[in-house]
Amino acid sequence: MTERPQISEAYLEKPCEASVGYFCFSSATEPLICPAGSYCLTEGLSEATLCPAGSYCPEEGLSEATLCPAGTFNPDEGGKSVASCQKCPPGTFNPDEGGKISAADK
């Protein structure tokens, strides 16, 4: 019979360490990559942050959101692609990147 190697208690109690782009929920032993639609800006996070309105996060493991282009807007959190950014309806326009709403032309 082969003996199993001993695993130290220090190893078993090793805390999960999340780098930028990853997070560790409370009982995790290994970091999880932030999913598309969210980002993880700093080290040591316990949860991913949903991409805010006016932006999208198209890939896993991002540390920041991508702003919607000028002429579009995204009123919702958690956008996963540029398709989350809607074209402004006729009679409205958003001249800046990162629009959450589309304003009427003045």
Predicted confidence (pLDDT) at residue 106 exceeds the cutoff of 80: no
Tokens of 6: 């001993």
User: The pTM is what?
Assistant: 0.79
Q: Which residue has the higher pLDDT, 91 or 7?
A: 91
Do residues 14 and 39 touch, judged by C-beta distance below 8 A? Answer: no
Q: What is the mean pLDDT of residues 68-76?
A: 95
Pairing of strands 92-93, 103-104: antiparallel
pLDDT in tens, 43-67: 999 999 999 999 999 999 999 999 9
